[in-house]
Structure 1
Amino acid sequence: MEWVDEGIVLGLRRHGESSAILTAFTRRHGRHTGLVRGATSKRLRGVLQPGNRLQLSWRGRLEEHLGHFEVELLDSHAAALMLDAGKLAALTSACALIDFSLPERETHPQLYETLNSLAIALDHEAWAETYVKWEIGLLAELGFGLDLSACAATGQTTDLVYVSPKTARAVSRQAGEPYRDKLLPLPGFLIGEGGADDLALASALKMTGYFLNRHVYTLHGRSLPDSRMRLLQRFLR
């Protein structure tokens, strides 16, 4: 069995003295692992960084085997963000979320395109806002989408300031006031109102983090990736 595809590096773990097991999110073959020989070499160390886009050639005797990857660098997204700790944390966080959330070899072509677009967009000014919206898209892809279009209680489409942790739907100020301590704040920039300052970005990351924990991580006795926590801390300073 063999195939050629493009993919984004999600993670790497050592295997023996010089090899490693690469996990990549591929366009046509989903999240896929394979052995890379010489992964610790000077030539490949910079190539096999989370977020980099590669051309991958996979070979295995049977489809269900681990198999081997031959890799070629297409885009070095990680290097482009290396000088900005926040942007790099966003890239590695997105890769870690994909790595943990998706079953192996299940295709998600639209999600692949959004991850590739995110890796490019993180090198621009509004990178943090783009990242938060990407997490909302990830939740939707996993079947846990948020509905921020109208108040869950009244149906009104204005003055939406909360999100229900139970239904993941928006709640208006008036309807939510008696329960405000139990609701999540809804940053205005997510519904086209107001700017995305550090306070709003931290609030948005807390909100998406709540649903990622509830629907994905807590079920497996895990917590959000360290890179995701570092990203949140950047906006809490």
Structure 2
Amino acid sequence: MEWTGDGIVLAVRPHGETSAIVDLLTESQGRHTGLVRGGRSRTARPVLQPGNRVHATWRARLSDHLGNFDVEADRLVAGELMEDRLALAGLNAACTMACLALPEREPHAAVYRAFSILLDSFAKPDIWPALYVRWEAGLLTDLGYGIDLTRCAITGEREGLSHVSPKSGRAVTASAAEPYIDKLLKLPAFLTGSDQEVGEGDVAAGLALTGHFLQRRVLWPHDRDLPEARQRMIDRLAEAGRL
């Protein structure tokens, strides 16, 4: 068995004295794990960093085997962001979230493409926090747990959506939400349309919204929780005044 393609390094774990087990996110193969022999060497370590783009070939005798990766560097994104603590926090959160949420070897091309866009945005602190929220919302949708932001669950209206039910994941308008306001999740306007600006507190509200459904619908059924890397990103964003 063999395939070749481009990928994004999500996670690296040591294996034995010299090798590493690597998780890659690819467009056609999904999240795929394999062994990199010599992956802990001085030449390989800078390449095998979360967020880096690589060109990889995977080989195994049988399809259900772990298999081996041959990996070549494409773009060392982690190195480009090394001096930016805020961007690195976002990068680590995205990589860890993808590793936890995506089933292995299940293609999610839309998630991969959105992740690629997110990678290119990390040098722009005015942009990437909202894009990260959009990426998590897209992750939910691609996994089949999307939030319904098409119309109000109570009135059927399409405009003025302001909150989301934490149980059904359906949006409601401000007037419909009023009697239940303390029990609902705030819906930031930028998630309702591409032309909406990101206002103060919108990123925090978006992260609370996507985090709620990722935790309860995606992670908890597999006895997992939201990763610490995501909370560290939120803390860094708060320190930088980007929430």
- Match in the other structure for 1:161: 162
The superposition leaves residues 175-217 of structure 1 with CA deviations (integer Å, 9 ceiling, x where unpaired) of 1111111100112222258643552211110111000001111
- Number of residue-to-residue matches in the alignment: 237
Structural RMSD (CA): 1.7
Secondary structure of the 1:208 match is helix
- Match in the other structure for 1:120: 120
Map 1:96-135 → 2, pairs under 5 A? 96-124=96-124, 125-135=126-136
- Match in the other structure for 1:93: 93
Map 1:223-234 → 2, pairs under 5 A? 223-234=225-236
| CA distance in structure 2 between the aligned counterparts of 1:25 and 1:200, rounded to whole angstroms | 28
Segments of 5+ residues of structure 1 without an aligned counterpart are none
- Match in the other structure for 2:25: 25
CA contact (8 A) 1:163 1:186 kept: yes
Question: Residues 98 and 174 of structure 1: is their aligned pair in 2 closer, same or farther, counting only changes over 3 Å?
Answer: same
Identity of aligned residues (%): 48
| CA distance in structure 2 between the aligned counterparts of 1:86 and 1:139, rounded to whole angstroms | 24
What TM-score does the superposition give when structure 2 sets the normalisation length? 0.91
- Match in the other structure for 1:68: 68
CA contact (8 A) 2:86 2:237 kept: no
> Residue 12 of structure 1 aligns to which amino acid in structure 2?
V
CA contact (8 A) 2:89 2:236 kept: no
CA contact (8 A) 1:55 1:71 kept: yes
Map 1:187-198 → 2, pairs under 5 A? 187-192=188-193, 195-197=197-199
* Cα offset, 1:40, TM superposition: 1.6
Q: Does 1:147 align with 2:118?
A: no
What TM-score does the superposition give when structure 1 sets the normalisation length? 0.93
The superposition leaves residues 159-178 of structure 1 with CA deviations (integer Å, 9 ceiling, x where unpaired) of 32211111212111111111
Moved more, 87-96 or 203-212: 87-96
* Cα offset, 1:122, TM superposition: 2.0
CA contact (8 A) 1:189 1:196 kept: yes
Secondary structure of the 2:22 match is strand
The superposition leaves residues 66-95 of structure 1 with CA deviations (integer Å, 9 ceiling, x where unpaired) of 111111011112122222222222222222
Runs of 4+ in 1 over 6 A off after TM superposition: none
CA contact (8 A) 1:151 1:169 kept: yes
> Residue 222 of structure 1 aligns to which amino acid in structure 2?
R
* Cα offset, 1:152, TM superposition: 1.2
CA contact (8 A) 1:149 1:157 kept: yes
| CA distance in structure 2 between the aligned counterparts of 1:189 and 1:104, rounded to whole angstroms | 31
Q: Does 1:222 align with 2:224?
A: yes
Question: Residues 8 and 62 of structure 1: is their aligned pair in 2 closer, same or farther, counting only changes over 3 Å?
Answer: same
- Match in the other structure for 1:205: 207
